[in-house]
Amino acid sequence: MSDPRDARYYRTWMSSRTVSRRGLFRGLLSPAKQAVEQTLSPEKTLLHRQCPRPPQAVAEPLFLQNCDGCGRCAEACPVGILSICEGKATLAIEYAECDACGACTSTCESGALDAAVMMDTGLRPVILPQCLGRMDDLCRMCEIACPRTAIFFNQQNQPNVDGAKCNGCGKCKLVCYHGDINLSLPHHDS
């Protein structure tokens, strides 16, 4: 019996073996997709930051995987608001705000911090009910100090925070001399 495969058969077979650019990227990115799908499993591992992170931290699952706790970011932080807690970089805005200088990102070699990620600590101000600005229009320190104009008071003297504008620098907390602003991570429904 003769072999029915001719040159046309082999040409077709070889053309199906070449990899397109789209196929290549699909193959390279499928492990990342699987990692995200695993985090969405019934255990519902959080995709959002579990604690405050440096301003250019990658997505939480990737951050937890990449951050090796070396401490270079904490050493590079000129205001000393970064530390290593439980082997990962964390942010504590108590005595200085994050000015988004990028020093932490430029020293990170693990890939946990990425210059392509928008500067955002993930923290958002929570203005307490006893805020003096709610009672009159004399205190507007947080609104005046916000470098991104994310805090504003409406006509009824109620403070509002524009979460899209806010980058979590913490300046509002530090200028509030009454201590009526806390910073917290937004709650996400899982």
Query: CA torsion, points 163, 168, 49, 190, in degrees to nearest 10?
Result: -20
- H/E stretch holding 172 reads helix 171-175
- How would you write the pLDDT of the chain (190 residues) with one tens digit per residue? 566 666 666 666 555 455 555 555 555 555 554 444 444 444 444 467 788 999 999 999 999 999 999 999 999 999 999 999 999 999 999 999 999 999 999 999 999 999 999 999 999 999 999 998 888 768 999 999 999 999 999 999 999 999 999 999 999 999 998 899 999 998 755 4
Q: What does DSSP say about strands 159-161 and 151-153: parallel, antiparallel, or unpaired?
A: antiparallel
What pTM was computed for the model? 0.70
Give bridge partners of residue 91 from the DSSP assignment: 82
Other beta carbons within 10 angstroms of residue 123's beta carbon come to 24
Contact 104/49 with Cβ under 8 angstroms? no
DSSP 8-state assignment for residue 185: P
The torsion angles phi and psi of 72, rounded to 5 degrees, stand at -60, -40
Closest CA to 131 of 82, 74, 178: 178
Closest CA to 62 of 40, 43, 39: 39
